[in-house]
């Protein structure tokens, strides 16, 4: 009864805690994903041309928020209104240096709520433009330094239809550059400095509402009004995910009074997260079904063991005239005070787990009813016929009845039919997780157990005949008892196979996802580190090689949408575009070797040398189908002819999901002294790299290159260098989306499957403890030692544990292949095909489970022997204890 209570408590705890933890982890993942999104994706923004006066648009800020579809109004945390003049249409000119001459100055202007509160003036004052007067403008310290501007300076802005005067009245610094108020003022805080000849400066300044009207009227550049609403990710949860997604999609289709259009991609991001969540919920349902089935099997086994221990008591009651209902009520009176209380304790502990409250716990109630009623029901079932002769409990391999064969055949049919339906429909239909389809893996495991039970006696009997010829009786007795089915009963074997298959299934899926993420990380960062920037000086490689911890460096140039042509001699004709990667082949191979990543550098790239003919190239299948054997591609404004040496579906460094790419060997391309190929990335190998020093050296190289192009000393880089390591990228993949729920599912599967498998072995030992005790007592009188007695138990348990472990492992390994794409694992891996991966550690864990099961069996046997006092079990009247 105590064991039944513990099992009921664990079942209630699992059924209560698992959904709560799933919801909690899903909410955390959703909020973290939304918080990481750029503002153009996560914020709901309205934009449209705004006639003068633009200040009138402030009145629509709250009205538009109230008109958003529900539940969006309640999720809005912050809101801004802005009127802006596009930097691509407005240029700053003037008579004062440095506005006269030099590169063009694309100068955007913006008036926005919240800017004054988020900034601090370092010089001058905030704009107060008067009607009819010049516009007043303030700029950030970065813009003032880049263009050598100062407070009090006169400016002039030119547009498509004229010019407008302005005064620079102040310089500011942001209080917090990460404040969302600056998201649309990126060029105001980080101006773009020209790197190549002919490129412009791109900057932005801040003015007031009247200033926007003045500049717009004088330059002819239309003012654009924008209403931006930031949703509070802390108010989002997985339960409202579908309603929020539908509301954002509805907002994009709405017609607004001012003619504004909604600009956001939040609904797409939420839909992708919902796809991951549906997939992981289906997988969690599979794992939970396996664990619950194992627990229910153990509950039934415990109840059967209870009835078996008390069968003499029940038979005596029946012989004295007790009805079946009396036996049931007697058992119910014993279990009713215990089992519901244990289930209630499990529910209470599970409800304290972090997470949202769900619906009424009907499943917990069902567990309470099951654990309370299972013993009375089985007790009444066992006493349907009054028997006067005790049968042999150690002979389980008798001829099965037609009813039993029909039930077993039905389970096999249900399992096969479920696999077919599962492959057609998948695990995550739109209406939710299907209970039958989620239970298919359990049905497959049970079907495998039925087959194993039917096939196992034959090899055991053959082994028994061989063991009879060996010296000693221990091996023969152990195999003979196993062949008669004493420890290898259907119940423990089925529970053990389901538990093992659940754990192995979780392990296989986990390693499959991990292997796919490793490939994604390698394709994205094909070295220990990937250094990116805007442009580096040609001599940067030597300086980077001297950084502490760096062992190898390979220069790279990569760019998208580069022109493809039939040949270098016909530059006017274009046959398409592609992403181009130029990499030093020998240096790349050295970096890969020193980094230890799984990248195979093609021989065509490693061995290529500078010559007169086309250079060898690795291209994607789409490019190969379009260009044929030869073509030319634009690299920094010059066409290089190449021949297709190899076709690949993906290549490290070009980016995940890139379908059109060309990879060229740097060392084979002809370069000239005044027009070398300028690297914009570096592959770096090394252990314990000094990242701060590496980034400092990289930015120095960028400043040298920009200074050479502009002809003046540059003090700040346009794009600061960034370093991404393979390890950091790989760890980030484990923190995105619904990965925490995925980890929870398979951690629970592996840990729970192992624990329940060990419990099943313990049940197998306890089930025949009395019979084994009588046998050991008899053998002890014949001189059997305690050590050989333990060996006898091992011989009995090896068939059970080994067959169950191997069968369960086979089912667990086969399930991902059987289910195939219905698992939806591609949702957890970006741009990489998911291939089944079996880690040797999973197989080693199965062998470890066999050893653990045997050790558990020995421990339970010793405990039972101490309680039964083997020297007394042969006394008259105690044979069946």
Mean pLDDT over 802-823 rounds to 81
> What is the residue-wise DSSP string for 590-601?
HHHHHHT-----
Whether 329 has a pLDDT exceeding 80, the answer reads yes
What is the pLDDT at residue 877? Answer: 43
Mean pLDDT over 552-580 rounds to 80
What is the pLDDT at residue 6? Answer: 85
Question: Is it true that the peptide bond before 53 is cis, omega within 30 degrees of 0?
Answer: yes
What is the pLDDT at residue 97? Answer: 44
What is the pLDDT at residue 439? Answer: 79
- Residue 581's pLDDT band (cuts 50, 70, 90): very high
Q: Cα-flanking dihedrals φ and ψ of residue 616, to 5°? A: -70, 150
Q: Are residues 576 and 506 in the same domain?
A: no
Instruction: Provide the Cα torsion 21, 731, 264, 77; round to 10°.
Output: 50
- Residue 204's pLDDT band (cuts 50, 70, 90): very high
User: Angle 457-467/474-484 helices, nearest 10 degrees?
Assistant: 160
What is the pLDDT at residue 140? Answer: 92
- Residue 137's pLDDT band (cuts 50, 70, 90): very high
What is the pLDDT at residue 171? Answer: 94
Cα separation, 478 vs 480, in Å, equals: 5
What is the pLDDT at residue 572? Answer: 55
Percent with pLDDT over 90 in the chain: 16
Q: Are residues 286 and 396 in the same domain?
A: yes
- Residue 488's pLDDT band (cuts 50, 70, 90): very low
User: What's the count of helices (H) and strands (E) in the chain, helices before strands?
Assistant: 30, 20
Q: Are residues 658 and 765 in the same domain?
A: no
Q: Are residues 187 and 319 in the same domain?
A: no
Instruction: Provide the Cα torsion 760, 398, 389, 328; round to 10°.
Output: 50
Determine the structural domain holding residue 227 and report its residue range: 44-263
Angle at 236 between CA 231 and CA 239, to 5 degrees: 145
Mean pLDDT over 415-436 rounds to 71
Query: What is the number of other CB atoms lying within 10 angstroms of the CB of residue 737?
Result: 24
- Residue 427's pLDDT band (cuts 50, 70, 90): low
- Residue 876's pLDDT band (cuts 50, 70, 90): very low
Mean pLDDT over 383-403 rounds to 61
Mean pLDDT over 293-319 rounds to 83
What is the pLDDT at residue 95? Answer: 52
What is the pLDDT at residue 210? Answer: 93
- Helical H segments across 183-257, by residue range: 186-189, 209-219, 241-253
37 within a domain of the structure (yes/no): no
- Residue 181's pLDDT band (cuts 50, 70, 90): very high
The DSSP 8-state label assigned to residue 168 in this structure reads E
Whether 874 has a pLDDT exceeding 70, the answer reads no
Tell me which residue of 643, 448, 445, 640 sits closest to 557, measured CA to CA.
640
Cα separation, 76 vs 264, in Å, equals: 14
What is the pLDDT at residue 231? Answer: 92
> What is the residue-wise DSSP string for 300-357?
HHHHHHHHHHTHHHHHHHHHTT--HHHHHHHHHHHHTTTHHHHHHHHHHHHHTSSS--
Q: Cα Rg for the chain, rounded, in angstroms?
A: 37
Q: Are residues 744 and 800 in the same domain?
A: yes
Higher pLDDT, 349 or 824: 349
What is the pLDDT at residue 83? Answer: 92
448 within a domain of the structure (yes/no): yes
Lowest mean pLDDT among 20-34, 121-135, 748-762, 857-871: 857-871
**pLDDT tens digits, 746-764:** 777 777 777 777 777 777 7
Cα separation, 322 vs 331, in Å, equals: 13
30 within a domain of the structure (yes/no): no
Q: How would you classify residue 190: left for phi > 0, otherwise alpha for psi between -120 and 50, otherwise beta? A: beta
Whether 467 has a pLDDT exceeding 50, the answer reads yes
Whether 517 has a pLDDT exceeding 80, the answer reads yes
Mean pLDDT over 33-58 rounds to 87
User: Of 713, 729, 745, which residue sits at a domain end?
Assistant: 729
What is the pLDDT at residue 824? Answer: 74
**pLDDT tens digits, 782-791:** 776 767 767 7
The count of domains in the chain is 3
Mean pLDDT over 826-842 rounds to 78
Q: Please return the burial class of 877, using the count of CB atoms within 10 Å of its CB with bins 0-12, 13-18 and 19+.
A: exposed
What is the pLDDT at residue 881? Answer: 42
Distances (CA, A) of 248 to 31, 61, 71, 230: 16, 17, 9, 12
When the pLDDT of each residue in the chain is averaged and rounded to a whole number, the result is: 82
693 within a domain of the structure (yes/no): yes
Cα separation, 154 vs 354, in Å, equals: 60
What is the pLDDT at residue 878? Answer: 47
Whether 205 has a pLDDT exceeding 60, the answer reads yes
Q: Are residues 227 and 328 in the same domain?
A: no
CB 318, CB 780: distance < 8 Å: no
Q: Are residues 99 and 245 in the same domain?
A: yes
Mean pLDDT over 166-195 rounds to 89
Residues 6+ apart with CB under 8 A from 709: 194, 195, 196, 197
Q: Are residues 533 and 472 in the same domain?
A: no
35 within a domain of the structure (yes/no): no
Whether 481 has a pLDDT exceeding 70, the answer reads no
Mean pLDDT over 250-262 rounds to 82
750 within a domain of the structure (yes/no): yes
Q: Are residues 311 and 365 in the same domain?
A: yes
- Residue 100's pLDDT band (cuts 50, 70, 90): very low
716 within a domain of the structure (yes/no): yes
Cα separation, 880 vs 392, in Å, equals: 11
Q: Are residues 609 and 498 in the same domain?
A: no
Residues 6+ apart with CB under 8 A from 663: 580, 581, 582, 583, 605, 617, 618, 619, 651, 654
Lowest mean pLDDT among 29-33, 148-152, 380-384, 714-718: 714-718
Q: Are residues 311 and 221 in the same domain?
A: no
Whether 312 has a pLDDT exceeding 90, the answer reads no
Query: Within 13 Å, how many C-alpha atoms sit on residue 72's CB side?
Result: 26
Higher pLDDT, 651 or 293: 651
- Residue 169's pLDDT band (cuts 50, 70, 90): very high
User: Of 216, 235, 263, which residue sits at a domain end?
Assistant: 263
What is the pLDDT at residue 613? Answer: 77
680 within a domain of the structure (yes/no): yes
Whether 165 has a pLDDT exceeding 50, the answer reads yes
User: Of 667, 701, 729, which residue sits at a domain end?
Assistant: 729
Q: Please return the burial class of 550, using the count of CB atoms within 10 Å of its CB with bins 0-12, 13-18 and 19+.
A: buried
Q: Are residues 772 and 848 in the same domain?
A: yes
Tell me which residue of 337, 339, 388, 393 sits closest to 365, measured CA to CA.
339
- Residue 287's pLDDT band (cuts 50, 70, 90): confident
Q: Cα-flanking dihedrals φ and ψ of residue 660, to 5°? A: -130, 110
Query: Can you say whether the dihedral through the CA atoms of 835, 836, 840, 842 is positive or negative?
Result: positive
Q: Which SS3 state, helix, strand or coil, does residue 557 take?
A: strand
**pLDDT tens digits, 698-757:** 888 888 887 777 666 766 666 688 899 999 888 888 877 677 777 777 777 777 777 777
Mean pLDDT over 205-210 rounds to 93
Q: Which of 209-223, 423-437, 469-483, 505-519 has the highest mean pLDDT?
A: 209-223
Residues 6+ apart with CB under 8 A from 855: none
């Amino acid at each position: 009864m105590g064991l039944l209570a513990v099992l009921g408590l664990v079942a209630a705890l699992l059924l209560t805690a698992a959904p709560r933890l799933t919801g909690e982890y899903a909410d955390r993942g959703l909020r973290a994903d939304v918080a990481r999104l750029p503002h153009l994706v996560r914020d709901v923004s309205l934009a449209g041309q705004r006639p003068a006066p633009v200040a009138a648009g402030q009145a629509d800020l709250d009205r538009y928020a109230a008109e958003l579809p529900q539940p969006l109004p309640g999720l809005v945390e912050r809101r801004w209104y802005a009127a802006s003049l596009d930097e691509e249409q407005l240029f700053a000119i003037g008579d004062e240096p440095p506005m006269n001459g030099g590169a063009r100055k694309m100068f955007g202007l913006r008036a926005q709520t919240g800017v004054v509160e988020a900034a601090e003036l370092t010089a001058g004052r905030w704009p107060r433009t008067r009607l009819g007067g010049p516009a007043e403008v303030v700029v950030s310290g970065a813009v003032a330094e880049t263009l050598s501007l100062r407070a009090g300076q006169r400016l002039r802005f030119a547009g498509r239809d004229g010019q407008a005067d302005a005064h620079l009245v102040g310089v500011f610094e942001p209080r917090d550059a990460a404040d969302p108020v600056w998201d649309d003022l990126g060029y105001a805080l980080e101006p773009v400095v020209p790197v190549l000849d002919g490129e412009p400066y791109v900057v932005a300044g801040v003015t007031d509402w009247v200033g926007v009207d003045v500049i717009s009227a004088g330059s002819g550049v239309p003012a654009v009004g924008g209403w931006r609403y930031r949703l509070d990710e802390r108010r989002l949860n997985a339960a409202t995910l579908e309603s929020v997604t539908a509301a954002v999609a509805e907002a994009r289709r709405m017609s607004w009074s001012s003619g504004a259009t909604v600009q956001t991609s939040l609904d797409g991001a939420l839909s992708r997260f919902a796809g991951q969540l549906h997939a992981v919920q289906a997988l969690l349902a599979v794992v939970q079904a396996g664990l619950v089935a194992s627990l229910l099997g153990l509950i039934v086994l415990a109840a059967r063991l209870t009835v078996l221990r008390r069968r003499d008591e029940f038979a005596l009651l029946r012989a004295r005239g007790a009805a079946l209902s009396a036996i049931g009520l007697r058992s119910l009176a014993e279990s009713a005070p215990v089992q519901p209380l244990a289930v209630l304790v499990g529910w209470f502990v599970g409800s304290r787990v972090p997470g949202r409250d769900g619906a009424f716990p009907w499943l917990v109630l069902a567990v309470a009813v099951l654990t309370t009623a299972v013993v009375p029901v089985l007790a009444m079932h066992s006493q349907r016929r009054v028997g006067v002769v005790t049968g042999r409990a150690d002979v389980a391999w008798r001829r099965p009845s037609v009813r039993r064969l029909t039930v077993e055949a039905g389970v096999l049919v249900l399992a096969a039919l479920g696999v077919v339906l599962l492959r057609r429909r998948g695990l995550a239909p739109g209406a939710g997780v299907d209970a039958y389809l989620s239970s298919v893996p359990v049905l497959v495991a049970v079907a495998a157990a039925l087959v194993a039970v039917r096939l196992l006696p034959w090899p055991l009997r053959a082994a028994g005949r061989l063991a009879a010829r060996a010296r000693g009786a221990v091996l023969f007795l152990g195999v003979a008892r196993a062949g008669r089915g004493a420890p290898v009963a259907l119940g423990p074997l089925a529970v053990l196979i389901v538990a093992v298959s659940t754990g192995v299934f979780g392990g296989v899926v986990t390693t499959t996802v991990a292997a796919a993420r490793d490939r994604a990380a390698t394709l994205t960062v094909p070295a220990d580190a990937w250094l990116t920037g805007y442009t580096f000086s040609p001599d940067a490689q030597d300086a980077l090689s001297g950084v502490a911890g760096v062992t190898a460096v390979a220069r790279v140039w990569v760019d998208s949408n580069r022109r493809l042509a039939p040949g270098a001699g016909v530059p006017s004709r274009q046959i398409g575009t592609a992403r181009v990667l130029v990499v030093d082949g020998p240096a790349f191979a050295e970096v890969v070797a020193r980094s230890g990543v799984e990248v195979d550098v093609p021989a065509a790239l490693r061995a290529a040398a500078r010559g007169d003919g086309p250079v060898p190239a690795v291209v994607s299948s789409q490019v190969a189908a379009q260009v044929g054997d030869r073509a030319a591609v634009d690299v920094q404004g010059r066409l290089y002819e190449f021949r297709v040496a190899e076709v690949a579906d993906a290549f490290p460094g070009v980016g995940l999901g890139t379908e059109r790419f060309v990879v060229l060997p740097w060392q084979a391309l002809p370069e000239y002294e005044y027009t070398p190929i300028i690297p914009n990335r570096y592959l770096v190998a090394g252990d314990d790299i000094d990242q701060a020093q590496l980034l400092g050296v990289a930015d120095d190289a960028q400043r040298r290159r920009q200074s050479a192009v502009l002809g003046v000393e540059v003090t700040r880089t346009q794009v600061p260098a960034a370093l991404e390591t393979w390890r950091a990228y790989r760890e980030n993949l484990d923190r995105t989306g619904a990965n925490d729920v995925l980890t929870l599912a398979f951690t629970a599967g592996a840990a729970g499957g192992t624990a329940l498998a060990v419990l099943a072995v313990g049940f197998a030992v306890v089930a025949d403890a009395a019979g084994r005790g009588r046998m050991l007592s008899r053998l002890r009188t014949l001189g059997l030692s305690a050590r050989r007695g333990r060996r006898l138990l091992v011989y009995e348990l090896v068939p059970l544990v080994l067959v169950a472990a191997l069968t369960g492992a086979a089912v667990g390994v086969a399930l991902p292949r059987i289910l195939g794409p219905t698992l939806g694992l591609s949702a957890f891996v970006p741009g990489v095909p998911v291939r089944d991966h079996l880690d040797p550690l999973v197989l080693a864990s199965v062998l470890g489970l066999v050893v653990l099961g045997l050790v558990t069996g020995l421990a339970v046997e010793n405990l039972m022997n101490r309680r039964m006092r083997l020297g007394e079990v042969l006394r008259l009247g105690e044979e069946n204890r």
